[in-house]
Structure 1
Amino acid sequence: MPPRRSPVSRRDRPAKPPLSRDGVVAVALRILRAEGLDKVTMRRLAAELDTGPSSLYVYLRNMAEVHGAVLDALLADLPMPSGSDDPKADLVDLLSAYTALLYEHPSLARSVLALWPSGPNYLRLIDTTLGLLVALGVPPRPAAWGVDALLQYATSTAAEQGTRDENDSDWDGLTEAIARASNPFIARHRDELFSGTPDEKLRWTFTALINGIAGTETP
């Protein structure tokens, strides 16, 4: 008969690190960067943290809140303007950097379109964007409305680009259709439809939006 094993007290096991909101977000961010947003689930987070999924809802109420917190963690590294003499260029740089950050995580960009992020780093982005518009001489109300338009365009552009990357055949079909089209203005200017680099187009669009915000009165 084999010798009876002595019971082992649970107190002899290494203590698990205490759970925290920052700890959960850090794990979610690590999974996002390594495997993508679809792998960031409450069950996966719980497994990584050696706890049960229900324990995580104390810190983050649902996956939408997880996504918002992950976005805010990413925004901690977003470079802010240093305060040059050209607030328009600073604003275009800021919005381009925000879009580029989301380009790396298009699934997160799609999720953010349906969220109302409220973390401190997102608030910093709103505040900086608003301040640069005001520095351009835009009155407070159109400047405030313009913040929403600019950030929404940046987010939707990143989400759309990710979708295009996943559906190259659809994009190829469009380019082939334009190349064969006999529509008068397409036929006359088809080369211009494909001109410019993605970065040039992005910066031009932000500049055009900013000019429109500055020159359009609110009701």
Structure 2
Amino acid sequence: MFVTLIRVSESRTSRRERPAKPALTREGIIAAAVAIMRTEGLQRVTMRRLATELDTGPASLYVYVANTAELHAAVLDELLGEVELGGASGDWADQLIGVLTSYVEVLTANPQLARTAVATRPNGPNYLRLVDRILGLLADGGVARTRAAWGVDLLLLAGTAHAAEHAGAGATADQEWETLGQTLSTVDPRRHPHIHELSDLLLAGSHTERLTWSFQALIEGLSRTEVPGE
């Protein structure tokens, strides 16, 4: 028994010999949060879970991130770095649609974050680069300054809403879409004459076709629509 105790004691590592934990940084905290989101989902990205991952206390994180809402906004901004800001061919409008489509694709690939983005407004470097790129393309198209300034919010809002609606599309979402189609095609023409007349068109077209068309309509509209006081 005495020998066993000695061996156990010798196997322990002194605190002085343990490697020091990496210093906390905002960048490191956000990187850990993104990793948790990818493997466990956004609902698990909490200050407590993050503190466990980083081997620290939750209070230490508040020095770098004010709350969970700010943390989620930072995660969103980090993912916005994946948006393709260039490379699309065509004129300024085609390039703009390419940027916005890439934005939607990034959000759609992260379903929970897409829905959170509806109520979250990031303000990090990747979001600023995205906004600046959109404004630059609108300027290339000769869109008036105020219309462009107001329009960038409208375009991103439309993209965010589309991503939130279609995020995580799968068998259940396809079934819901099919059920809606059946409902629209069998409405009482006396009670809903306009739906009955256009029932074959209300859900026509692919998601990509409808998304591209919606951006085209918005770009054309904001190019022509005056803002108050203009």
Give, in whole Å, the separation in 1 of the partners of 2:227 and 2:21: 55
Residues 200-219 of structure 1 aligned to structure 2 (within 5 Å): 200-219=209-228
**Paired residues of 2:47 and 2:68 also in contact (CA < 8 A):** yes
1:41 aligns with 2:46: yes
- What does 1:150-189 correspond to in 2, within 5 Å? 150-162=155-167, 168=173, 171-181=177-187, 182=189, 183-189=192-198
Does the aligned pair in 2 maintain the 1:95–1:154 contact within 8 Å? yes
Question: Alpha-carbon deviation of 1:28?
Answer: 0.8
CA distance in 2, matches of 1:209, 1:170: 27
- Give how far 1:133 is off: 1.0
TM-score w.r.t. the length of structure 2 is 0.87
CA deviations on 1:58-84 (whole Å, 9 max, x unpaired) are 111111111111111112221112485
Counterpart CA distance in 2 for 1:153 and 1:116 is: 14
1:135 aligns with 2:162: no
Specify whether residues 166 and 27 from structure 1 end up closer, same or farther in structure 2 by C-alpha distance, changes over 3 A only: farther
For structure 2, the residue ranges without an aligned partner over 5 or more in a row are none
Identity of aligned residues (%): 47
Contact 1:41 1:63 in 2 (8 A): yes
Q: 1:142·1:213 contact (CA, 8 Å) conserved in 2?
A: yes
**Secondary structure in structure 2 of the residue aligned to 1:191:** coil
Q: CA deviation at 1:165?
A: 5.8
Task: Please name the residue that 2:20 is paired with.
Answer: 15
> Aligned match of 1:29 in 29, 34, 48?
34
Q: Which has the larger radius of gyration?
A: 2
**What secondary structure sits across from 1:192 in the alignment?**
coil
Q: Give the aligned partner of residue 64 of structure 2.
A: 59
Q: In structure 2, what residue type is equivalent to 1:21? A: R
Q: Which has the higher contact order (CA 8 A, sep 6+)?
A: 1
CA contact 2:82–2:106 (8 Å) conserved in 1: no
Gaps of 5+ in 1: none
Aligned Cα root-mean-square deviation (Å): 2.2
Counterparts in 2 of 1:112-127, with a 5 A limit? Answer: 112-127=117-132
The TM-score with structure 1 as length reference comes to 0.91
TM-superposed deviation, 1:190: 1.7
CA change 1:137–1:152 in 2 (3 A) is: same
